[in-house]
Amino acid sequence: MEDGKTEGEAPRCVGCGRRVKTLFVQYSPGNIRLMKCDNCKAVADPYIECEFMIILIDLILHKTRAYRHLLFNKMHIGSSLDKGILYQSILVHIILDAFRISVSKGNTADRNSSRSTLSTIFNCSEVLGDALLGNIIFMAILLLGVRYILKLSFNIMRYREVLSAVIISSYFKLFLLTMMVWEFPSSAIFIVEIFVLSSNVVALRVMTQFPKAHCVGVCLAAHAAKHLTERWPLWTT
């Protein structure tokens, strides 16, 4: 870990969230010493020495310490690196939502097995359009909620950090890909979406340090608007 980082790029203590100069000192390859936080006097980031599966389990358990490690010390949210991460995460997010929508529509589509190639192409473009529009609405409502409900001062960098954290915390959508291999009931999609919502709440709390109820309200409103946007074409047909 290099010293002399700027304020935006400085790592954070996973316990209290305060910025620290460095997370560890490396004496030789494989020989490091974890540094303590000046504020809480605990090891700043013990996850540095943990296996990936341990970190993943703590993320699934919604531990704020694990989210601070992932967002601040691993993904470097708030640094000059997060712009590329944000664009890649949004792209993956839209693709996974398109897959979810296609799975949700699968039951009705299977009733008509004799679809033409043109119909299939139209279906795919429609699904991608729904996913894109749904995500635009989701991000708009999220940022509006952050601005007017959480009353976060308008700063394009801070808003980008919040958006990056929420999109990255939707990682559980990756489990939808298992539906390509194993068959799950449609209720599995609902369970994944609930988990994504709760994960977004934790990430938003970590980034903004606002009360849980406020973060739940913002994330719930964004997800509800997204869901209604995706469902609207089905209700109008």
Looking at the structure, do residues 222 and 106 belong to the same domain, yes or no?
A: yes
Looking at the structure, do residues 158 and 139 belong to the same domain, yes or no?
A: yes
Which of 14, 20, 16 lies closest to 66, judged by CA?
A: 14
Tokens 């799950």 belong to which residue?
A: 184
| Whole-angstrom distance, CA of residue 219 vs CA of residue 225 | 10
Q: Give the whole-number percent of the chain exceeding pLDDT 70.
A: 85
> What average pLDDT does range 15-25 have in this prediction?
91
> What average pLDDT does range 190-202 have in this prediction?
94
> What average pLDDT does range 172-179 have in this prediction?
87
Task: Judge whether 229 and 165 are in contact, CB under 8 Å.
Answer: no
Which of 211, 14, 212, 230 lies closest to 104, judged by CA?
A: 230
> What average pLDDT does range 66-73 have in this prediction?
94
Query: For the whole model, what pTM was predicted?
Result: 0.84
Q: Residue 4 above 50 pLDDT?
A: no
How many domains does one find in the chain? Answer: 2
Q: Residue 104 above 80 pLDDT?
A: no
- Print the domain residue range for 10: 1-74
Strand, helix or coil for residue 8: coil
Q: Strand 24-28 relative to strand 31-34: parallel, antiparallel, unpaired?
A: antiparallel
* pLDDT at position 6: 47
| Whole-angstrom distance, CA of residue 197 vs CA of residue 203 | 10
Looking at the structure, do residues 222 and 201 belong to the same domain, yes or no?
A: yes
Residue, of 1 and 222, whose pLDDT is higher:
222
> What average pLDDT does range 163-181 have in this prediction?
89
> What average pLDDT does range 11-23 have in this prediction?
92
Looking at the structure, do residues 109 and 67 belong to the same domain, yes or no?
A: no
Looking at the structure, do residues 2 and 48 belong to the same domain, yes or no?
A: yes
* pLDDT at position 134: 92
Looking at the structure, do residues 40 and 113 belong to the same domain, yes or no?
A: no
